[in-house]
Amino acid sequence: MNIALIGYGKMGKAIASIAIKRGHQICARVDAENPIESVDLSSADVAIEFTTPHAVLHHIDYLLEKKIPIVVGTTGWNKELPSVKEKVSKFDGALLHASNFSIGVNLFFELNKYLAKLMSPQADYKVQMTEIHHLQKLDAPSGTAISLADGITANHNNYTSWFCEEHETHNKPSKNSLEIVALREENVPGTHQVTYQSAIDRIVIEHEAHSREGFASGSLVAAEWLVGKKGVFTMQDVLNLNSL
């Protein structure tokens, strides 16, 4: 499989290393010095996009027009998802997006939803979330934390929204909102913790990434799955989790 890497930072380099080990070829690299319009994408079977929120939509538009399936790992653009879905339909294309491609994290998402259902009748327990990432992480809270928060608000009757002091919209806290604490520390690939606290005890679930390898390998699994398909997908489709 010929892969175009859209973004060649630390994540792009990790993907390239694992892709070659899996028998794939890197046929194109897009970065700050080599914008997407200047790169030959004619041999690409699929593109994997890890860049920035301000660049991702342009890349998606360009790749859809070129009829190249796209795996998108950039976060911070989900408000534009409805219009992106329309474009995918218009160009009869394929796009797979995820806030996190780690297989373990996506299983953690399902565990989080199930725990939220179990805890919903337990009014004595208050929920809080903490996410910790490296200092170069641009968005706060992380896309993974937002996905976890959405999983809780969809399955817990006492929570309808979330807030994070570090978030640019400064969502206001209320009795029906859960708090996300976003911390940035040196050399932390990603840790997410969901805590249910009562006066008498505490329940905690946590996912801790040891390296970028889980994110990189998961994006390649997604790319291998996406080729030959049409539509908009997530890792739930790749892992067949929609039926759970």
Separation between Cα atoms, residue 143 and residue 164, nearest integer Å: 13
Query: Which amino acid does the sequence have at 232?
Result: V
User: Please, are residues 129 and 194 in contact by the beta-carbon 8 Å criterion?
Assistant: yes
For the question of residue 79 being annotated catalytic, the response is no
In DSSP notation, 169-210 reads T-PPP-TTEEEEEEEE-TT---EEEEEEE-SS-EEEEEEE-S
Residue type, 92: D
In angstroms, rounded to a whole number, what is the distance separating the alpha carbons of residues 6 and 35? 9
Q: How many CA atoms lie within 13 A of 109 on its CB side?
A: 25
- Fill in the DSSP letter of residue 242: T
Q: Other CB atoms closer than 10 Å to residue 167's CB: what's the count?
A: 16
Helix or strand holding residue 65 (H, E):
helix 53-65
| Candidate list 24, 137, 156, 192, residue with the active-site label | 137
Which bin fits 132, alpha (ψ -120 to 50), beta or left (φ > 0)?
beta
Catalytic residue among 133, 156, 192, 207: 133
Look up 133 and say whether it is catalytic: yes
The residues carrying an active-site annotation are 133, 137
